[in-house]
Amino acid sequence: MWAEIAVSGVKLAVIAGMLLTVVPIMTWVERRGAAFIQDRLGPNRVGPWGLLQPLADAVKLLFKEDVTPAHVSKGLYFLAPAIAVFVALSTFIVIPFAKAEGIELFGVPLKGLIVAPDLNIGVLYLLALSSISVYGIVLAGWASNNKYSLLGGLRSSAQLISYELAMTLAVLGVLLASGDLRLTTVVEHQAKLWNVVPQFFGFLVFLVAAFAETNRLPFDLAEAENELVAGYHVELSSMKFAAFMMSEYINMTTISALATTLYLGGWQLPGVAMPDGWLGLVLSFAVFMAKVGFLLWLFVWVRWTLPRFRYDQLMRLGWKGLIPLALLNLLWVSVALARGWL
């Protein structure tokens, strides 16, 4: 019993530590990447290539004065960033980050680098929690008692409801093909062929919806700095603002990891059998992180390439473009499964 708890604790520490490390790295990649795309240098003064810039940012944010405006709804104003970070930090426990066959820790088999290997509703848990994440933004928008914030919060809730539907439909295709809600099974199912090949349109829908779910450009209508100032976090300062920034980057990482798991074969490489033991753990983890890294770069790449959508364009794309496409994908997967092609 205690050994199992210890193993879960170690996994939790490793994976949460990794996620929290991704945040400063991604802020650096974002700023340098933006500079690279816009043909300028970006932050390059703190540390080699500006690598220590995130550290300086963090110190700055921590020591900024924490202003609480007079007319905010106090409780909710403080609760909102907490909800955002809580959801961001609790979603990743069902994602298998690496293979761990034949490894024992404290006498307990590791069952893969995944915090909750026995939770048999894997994907459902992830979708359920990510549907909660909207509350952080909506409440921040409402509690700030500011019209720009409120508009940002309202836009965000409408956007998340619309795109969550498309995303769930796309995920259903993958679940149908692998026949289990557990992500470990989904990964093992893709040993021969990654899901992205037979379900390319499902992947496309998932990816577009992922941009909307994480409030990233071209779908960052909730903050839209040149019309809503900064949307739902206009009135948030210092660490409360940082909490939202952090949760945005953690959500990006989680959703990239989910996309990798569902469509890009997880920790597997086609035609390469991962060895058992610690070597396999390290290799498969490296493969997984390489795929996640590519998707994260895609987020940055798209953000600095495409302009923002207009609100009605966003809604039209969601309801008239993505949902029918996801349904067609589902139909195709069902037919292919029934005919035995997959």
- Residues forming contacts to another protein in the complex (CB under 8 A) are 73, 76, 119-121, 124-125, 127-129, 131-132, 134-135, 138-139, 142, 150, 153-154, 157-158, 160-161, 164, 181
Closest to another protein by CB, 73 or 237: 73
Cα–Cα distance for residue pair 166/205, rounded to 1 Å: 7
Cα–Cα distance for residue pair 60/62, rounded to 1 Å: 5
Residues 6+ apart with CB under 8 A from 1: none
3-state secondary structure of 59: helix
* Shortest reach from residue 194's CB to another protein, in Å: 25
Element (DSSP H or E) covering residue 105: strand 104-105
* Shortest reach from residue 272's CB to another protein, in Å: 31
Cα–Cα distance for residue pair 334/320, rounded to 1 Å: 22
Query: Exposed, middle or buried, 106 (CB in 10 Å: 0-12/13-18/19+)?
Result: exposed
Pair of tokens at residue 249: 């980057």
Q: How is residue 233 annotated by DSSP?
A: G
* Shortest reach from residue 24's CB to another protein, in Å: 30
* Shortest reach from residue 141's CB to another protein, in Å: 8
Residues 6+ apart with CB under 8 A from 298: none
> Which residues, listed in sequence order, are joined to residue 272 by a DSSP beta bridge?
269
Closest to another protein by CB, 39 or 118: 118
Closest to another protein by CB, 139 or 177: 139
Direct distance between the N- and C-terminal alpha carbons of the chain, in angstroms, rounded to an integer: 41
Closest to another protein by CB, 68 or 120: 120
Torsion, CA 310, CA 313, CA 315, CA 319, rounded to 10 = -160
| Cβ-contact 235, 76 below 8 angstroms | no
Closest to another protein by CB, 128 or 290: 128
* Shortest reach from residue 138's CB to another protein, in Å: 6
Count of C-beta atoms within a 10 Å radius of residue 216: 18
* Shortest reach from residue 297's CB to another protein, in Å: 30
From 211, 238, 233, 243, select the one nearest 150 (Cα to Cα): 233
Task: Report the half-sphere exposure of 227 (CA within 13 A, side-chain side).
Answer: 11
Closest to another protein by CB, 171 or 292: 171
| Cβ-contact 197, 265 below 8 angstroms | no
* Shortest reach from residue 210's CB to another protein, in Å: 17
* Shortest reach from residue 178's CB to another protein, in Å: 13
Closest to another protein by CB, 131 or 238: 131
Closest to another protein by CB, 33 or 153: 153
Closest to another protein by CB, 46 or 76: 76
Position of tokens 């941009």? 211
* Shortest reach from residue 161's CB to another protein, in Å: 6
